[in-house]
Amino acid sequence: MSEEQLVVRKIKEGTVLDHVEQGRALKVLEALNIDGKDGNVVTVAMNVFSKKLGKKDIIKIENRFLKPEETNRIALIAPKATANLIRNYQVVEKRKVEIPDKFVDVFKCPNPTCISNSNEPISHIIDVVKKDPPTLKCRYCGRLLSPNELI
């Protein structure tokens, strides 16, 4: 078995996020609200050799099957990521992340005077105005945002 195969060794049940941009794994976990507190095994591999990306990060989340609306939360952080759903060691579904119509509580508006940054108990909602190239807009203050301002 090659080194790459060892690192990406299949899990029995759960979700493998592959082709995550190098260095973005922890941001991906944060966007997915995965902090390990539910007790499931989460394995993070960073800087793994990849033919496609040069280097990549891989995240294996055992016993959880992430839905498209969950994995799409990472579409700006890891646009080339693929989600592999594994059941009994077999890949039963493979899908690419897609940019959703809006991001709810994934990113904070960078405008310090925006009401979403006050102590009001409101969600951070960033609407997607255009998907290619990604153009975003804070629902509250209307500021136009590029992915780099959010990540």
Which of 96, 98, 151, 99 is closest to 127 using CA atoms? 99
d(CA 61, CA 139): 32
Instruction: Give min distance, CB of 100 to Zn ion, in A.
Output: 18
Candidates 105, 111, 128, 134; binder of Zn ion (CB under 5 A) is 111
Instruction: Give min distance, CB of 112 to Zn ion, in A.
Output: 9
Residue closer to Zn ion (CB basis): 120 or 132: 120
> Rule CB under 5 A: is residue 103 a binding residue for Zn ion?
no
- Return the residue matching tokens 């119509």: 101
Residue 61 burial by Cβ neighbours in a 10 Å radius (0-12, 13-18, 19+):
buried
> Rule CB under 5 A: is residue 44 a binding residue for Zn ion?
no
Candidates 29, 34, 74, 109; binder of Zn ion (CB under 5 A) is 109
Q: Between residue 113 and residue 142, which ones bind Zn ion under the rule CB under 5 A?
A: 114, 138, 140-141
How many CA within 13 A on the CB side of residue 122? 15
Task: Report the interface residues with Zn ion, using CB under 5 A.
Answer: 109, 111, 114, 138, 140-141
